[in-house]
Amino acid sequence: GAVVSQHPSRVICKSGTSVKIECRSLDFQATTMFWYRQFPKQSLMLMATSNEGSKATYEQGVEKDKFLINHASLTLSTLTVTSAHPEDSSFYICSARDSGGLAGRTDTQYFGPGTRLTVL
């Protein structure tokens, strides 16, 4: 149980284009999902908290107009990198928190496998 998928796993795009990354909780509902960015050999940096049915909460320094987040259902959140540039190249990882109320699950984040974005 507690499986999170991400699609695509890898994407290469030209500078100036937009890229959408999907994060799905496959066997549980998640009112809250998180988007992280990870640079090579570094830890995860929280970008934003995605809340089902409401606006995302962005961390300081993260441009909300550049990184659009939509959490339209209890199992799906999307991150769209708009007008991507080479400096946006990174490993993007989502996580989901089980909101189903099972004991011992609600405080745990379950991570997707990540999406490697390369902007040429």
Partner 1 sequence: AQSVTQLDSHVSVSEGTPVLLRCNYSSSYSPSLFWYVQHPNKGLQLLLKYTSAATLVKGINGFEAEFKKSETSFHLTKPSAHMSDAAEYFCVVSQGGYQKVTFGTGTKLQVIP
Q: What residues make contact with partner 1 under the rule CB under 8 A?
A: 4, 6, 32, 34, 42-44, 46, 49, 91, 93, 95, 97, 104, 106-114, 116
Q: In this complex, which beta carbon is closest to partner 1, that of residue 45 or of residue 82? A: 45
Q: In this complex, which beta carbon is closest to partner 1, that of residue 86 or of residue 104? A: 104
Reading phi first (left if > 0) and then psi (alpha if -120 to 50, else beta), residue 50 is in beta
Q: In this complex, which beta carbon is closest to partner 1, that of residue 46 or of residue 74? A: 46
Residue 51 and residue 69 in contact, taking contact as beta carbons nearer than 8 Å: no
Report the C-alpha gap between 94 and 96 in whole angstroms.
Answer: 7
Q: In this complex, which beta carbon is closest to partner 1, that of residue 18 or of residue 55? A: 55
Q: Within 10 Å of residue 90's Cβ, how many Cβ atoms?
A: 21
Q: How far is the CB of 111 from partner 1 (least distance, A)?
A: 4
Q: How far is the CB of 25 from partner 1 (least distance, A)?
A: 13
Q: How far is the CB of 40 from partner 1 (least distance, A)?
A: 10
Q: How far is the CB of 33 from partner 1 (least distance, A)?
A: 12
The SS3 of residue 86 is helix
Give the DSSP H or E segment for 21: strand 19-25
